[in-house]
Structure 1
Amino acid sequence: MTERGQAKYDDTRTSAIDLDPGSQPVAKAPSGLDPRHARAVPEAVDPHAHPTTDFRTDLERLRFSPYFSRLSAVTQVVPQASVGPVIHNRLTHSIKVTSVARAIAVGLQADTGPAGNILRSLGGCDPIVVQAAASAHDLGHPPFGHLGERVLDRVARERLGLPEGFEGNAQTFRILTELDTHGAAQPGLNLTSAVRAAVLKYPWTRLEWRDNFTDLPPSERPRGVGDVSPTGAHKFSTYSLHANEVATVRAAYPAIGAWQQTVECQVMDIADDIAYSIHDLDDFYRAGVLQQASVSAELRTWLREQSLFARMPLADLAARPRDPGNSLELLRRRTASRDAWIADDDAFRAAVERVNEELVDDLLSVPFDGGIATERALSAFIRSWLDRFQRAIVVDPAPNVRSGHVQLERQAWHDVIVLKFVHARFVLDNPDLATAQRGQARIVESLVVGLDEWLTDRDDAARAPRRLIESAEAATESYLQLRADNPEVLSGPTDDASMRRRGRGRAVIDYVATLTDAQAISVAGSIRGIG
């Protein structure tokens, strides 16, 4: 491990261990302003206003943002056209995450015991900050959900000369701090440090996990880093362009370790997991995507033959992941390997049994028909699981590097990963969606290539969309400034031509990532001369 890597690792593992639960180490700026309320550009402050007014202002700025409104036309998982208006989109998902997060935050803020003292010593858990972070957490998602994210990342690296590629969480921070607008004085929404810090689910850049810490085993890497590849971390919350701003906002939370989220971010992240694992099942049940027979075969086979699966060679399991029970056993082994700090075989089996009983035997036993009975059954299922998860929040003063100070207790944690497994195994990998997804991938790639070619067309570049041209100019200036200030964070060639290429590429990615699904289809067709 590099010396720098060891220093950061040690800092992360010990940062919270010696906290005095009753202390309140909230630093104050020289002016006396709580640094959590600081904005990138100072604004006039009413001296008589309540401190949370700043956070309410942030929440309203987010809710009135066109980037927030756009989420109503962006796919969550199942495309809107597949089943009608009942399907969640990114906006309805964000609203539900906000609701779950607020409920958790209110309970934590009201805690007057040791757990509450620990959280206050870490910077606090303001429900309004949590709501703002939950509202903002998916702003960076491109058209067609996670599929669009993967395609944009690949073409950004392979076609546009952007070593950092694309990541929805990093794009969210870029929107909040640069792309969105609030007045004419500064780029971005000029949010408080607290809210900006609360959206940093993965507070590092992609390339720092490619160039450092590569000798750390996966079990000692933060959640989201995964297997470090030549491209760097799998998940990250900032591009190098904004790394200095990330360092500034995180400095308002001196008790939070280098790889840890703020408390408010942890609450948002847990709420996102809960909504993802429960509310998305609402869509899959309504759409008929989840078939009882296939889900039952997977879960029941593993439960019946757990000891046999435990003895099977890993290569045999990996070679036949669609054989009933194999994928679930692969999940159990991966969980035990990477999350030994909490993984437990008994809890894993209990989670499989619970999901099998309440999802497969109860809910999926009656196909959704739109009638009152099935609506009530679905509502009862969601409410039961939601209540269970919201009661399962615990506080850890010295969390594992793959967890946070706020976390789900052991059994609930296993319940979530099994529910998310059902989601991934029987929806995301559903062959019936493959045809549409392949077409969507081609749309995203053709958009990137077509817009990049337009900007480099000497005869026609001036007629490209004005927003795209201005964005390319601004991004190029940002890269040139980064080269002047922090050249060490730039990977690859850094001559002027390369900086212009990066600026143009980042602008193209920004442009495509802000389209709705329908806009992406329309613009792609127009560029190709179709329709």
Structure 2
Amino acid sequence: MAGTTGTTPDLYDDAATERWAPEPDKRPGRTAFQRDRARVLHSSALRRLAGKTQVVTPGSRHQAGDASPRTRLTHSLECAQVGRELGAALGCDPDLVEAACLSHDMGHPPFGHNGEVALNDFAKDCGGFEGNAQSLRLLTRIEPKRFITTDSGDMISVGLNLTRAALDAATKYPWPRAGHPTDPHSVKFGVYEDDLPVFDWVRRGAPEHRTCFEAQVMDWSDDVAYSVHDFEDGLHAGHLDPRALLDEDERAGIWKVVIGRYAPADTEPAELAEALDRLIGQEWWPQGYDGSALAQARLKDAASQLIGRFCLAAETATRQAYGTGPLTRYGAELIVPREARLECAVLKAVADRYVMQRAEQEALRLDQRIVLTELAEAIAAGAPGTLDPQFSALFDAARDDRARGRVIVDQLASLTDASALTLHSQLTAGRRAG
């Protein structure tokens, strides 16, 4: 079902630029991947990420001048900037990588990873919940952009109808639930059972379980963006004093967070100490941050330096292995040196320990899980009347309870933090009044 028009770099063949549903280009001259990027950028799903938690809940007060914390949207935009430049430096199509970076978090529910836990529990009878699998479902089914007519005469959505390469580049975990190639206990997966037909189409000809090169660039850009910016947010909000990173007891607590969560279980604390010391020893490291304008400028420079450091490490190591030619699809593997991965992991753990593990954050997460669980139960009890029109129609057309449960999950995952709280208040108040 090839539907490629416009000019496309010769590095990507017709299979890479094929769309599930063939369609002409309204503006000839654009590449297939420029169209992909535009569709993601203009989608309502991307806009909704502005109201979804990254680390600090959107709308909550932030210290140090009450600056707004990052959301899923700002993180996705920053990830896209990092990925576009790193991908271009390695010979990828920059629009393709940017489209993948912009869309990689689209399926995340309200309240961040906390919301994932609650929805996964609610969805246990219909295949579970995973943000990455939800992203694929959103891109290929839920986001209303393109409809096709089936052989039986039904009109069905094919989502944004992106190219095969764009969908593949946005796929971090190319396997179904419980299908991790090396870890049977992993909760990460990239496709629900209902979406296997389009997933199999996306992965046609791809090595089993292997992510394409563009997806690897996206994944590393994601790690770089959120590790650096969560660390920056933690400092700016006053949750982290850089001097604590010199204290041995504090360091021991950081190593416990790193090992097993952000780094391999066999990582030695001495390696992590070396990684942190390498960063602290840089002349641009934000020592003595006090929130002044000069300190804020220095912190911004440190964030830029860290991003450049991590990207250059991957670019250099990959180029040393593969030479100077363009690297795309399944022609190479992104090589990130262990030293860079450990430095990145330490930054993640610092943000985890000093921002996410604060007592008030844990209390907030508990409240959020209760809200989302109660909301799921209330929507299920009143469906289809409790669903938005898009999802109520899908609920009515669902073939069985499992499919109807998935529609409810789709509705819940589409909500922002604020809309989830508002809808919970409305539906639970109605139940109490009844």
TM-score in terms of structure 1 length: 0.69
Q: Residue 63 in 1 paired to residue 13 in 2?
A: no
Q: Residue 467 in 1 paired to residue 367 in 2?
A: no
Counterpart-to-counterpart distance in 2, 1:91 and 1:335: 23
Offset of residue 471 of structure 1: 2.5
Offset of residue 350 of structure 1: 2.0
Offset of residue 332 of structure 1: 4.7
Counterpart-to-counterpart distance in 1, 2:263 and 2:49: 36
2:335 is paired with a residue whose SS is strand
For 1:401, the equivalent position in structure 2 comes to none
Query: Which segment is superposed worse, 240-249 or 140-149?
Result: 240-249
Q: Name the Cα RMSD after superposition.
A: 2.9
Q: Residue 92 in 1 paired to residue 74 in 2?
A: yes
Offset of residue 501 of structure 1: 1.5
Counterpart-to-counterpart distance in 2, 1:421 and 1:337: 13
1:392 is paired with a residue whose SS is helix
Counterpart-to-counterpart distance in 1, 2:429 and 2:135: 32
2:22 is paired with a residue whose SS is coil
Counterpart AA for 1:278: V
* Equivalent position to 1:54, from 32, 55, 74: 32
Q: Residue 422 in 1 paired to residue 358 in 2?
A: no
Q: Residue 523 in 1 paired to residue 410 in 2?
A: no
For 1:325, the equivalent position in structure 2 comes to 252
Q: Is the alpha carbon distance of 1:462 and 1:147 closer, same or farther for their aligned partners in structure 2, counting shifts above 3 Å?
A: closer
- Please list, as runs of the form range in 1=range in 2, the aligned pairs for 1:22-33 lying within 5 A after superposition: none
TM-score in terms of structure 2 length: 0.83
For 1:192, the equivalent position in structure 2 comes to 163
Counterpart AA for 2:353: R
- Whether the aligned pair in 2 keeps the contact of 1:71 and 1:89 (CA below 8 Å) is yes
For 1:409, the equivalent position in structure 2 comes to 337
For 1:166, the equivalent position in structure 2 comes to 129
Q: Is the alpha carbon distance of 1:102 and 1:451 closer, same or farther for their aligned partners in structure 2, counting shifts above 3 Å?
A: same
Q: Deviations over 1:231-251 (max 9, x none)?
A: xx3111111111222222222
2:123 is paired with a residue whose SS is helix
- Whether the aligned pair in 2 keeps the contact of 1:153 and 1:167 (CA below 8 Å) is yes
1:87 is paired with a residue whose SS is coil
Offset of residue 426 of structure 1: 2.2
1:142 is paired with a residue whose SS is coil
- Count of residue correspondences: 397
Q: Is the alpha carbon distance of 1:450 and 1:357 closer, same or farther for their aligned partners in structure 2, counting shifts above 3 Å?
A: farther
Offset of residue 53 of structure 1: 1.3
For 2:273, the equivalent position in structure 1 comes to 349
Q: Deviations over 1:89-120 (max 9, x none)?
A: 111111100000011011101xxxxxxxxxxx
Counterpart-to-counterpart distance in 1, 2:386 and 2:165: 41
Q: Is the alpha carbon distance of 1:49 and 1:467 closer, same or farther for their aligned partners in structure 2, counting shifts above 3 Å?
A: closer
1:472 is paired with a residue whose SS is helix
For 2:304, the equivalent position in structure 1 comes to 383
For 1:510, the equivalent position in structure 2 comes to 410
Q: Deviations over 1:506-530 (max 9, x none)?
A: 1111111111111011000000117
Q: Is the alpha carbon distance of 1:70 and 1:153 closer, same or farther for their aligned partners in structure 2, counting shifts above 3 Å?
A: same
For 1:267, the equivalent position in structure 2 comes to 217
Counterpart-to-counterpart distance in 1, 2:259 and 2:28: 52
Counterpart-to-counterpart distance in 2, 1:504 and 1:198: 29
Offset of residue 167 of structure 1: 0.6
For 2:369, the equivalent position in structure 1 comes to 441
Paired-residue identity, %:
29
Counterpart-to-counterpart distance in 2, 1:465 and 1:409: 47
2:61 is paired with a residue whose SS is helix
Query: Which segment is superposed worse, 512-521 or 185-194?
Result: 185-194
Counterpart-to-counterpart distance in 2, 1:94 and 1:153: 23
For 2:228, the equivalent position in structure 1 comes to 278
For 1:82, the equivalent position in structure 2 comes to 61
For 2:326, the equivalent position in structure 1 comes to none
* Equivalent position to 2:111, from 137, 144, 166: 144
Q: Is the alpha carbon distance of 1:57 and 1:333 closer, same or farther for their aligned partners in structure 2, counting shifts above 3 Å?
A: closer
Q: Is the alpha carbon distance of 1:344 and 1:247 closer, same or farther for their aligned partners in structure 2, counting shifts above 3 Å?
A: farther
Gaps of 5+ in 2: 1-9, 149-156, 323-331
Q: Deviations over 1:368-391 (max 9, x none)?
A: 2xx311211211211111111121
Query: Which segment is superposed worse, 436-445 or 329-338?
Result: 329-338
Counterpart AA for 1:527: L
For 1:366, the equivalent position in structure 2 comes to 289
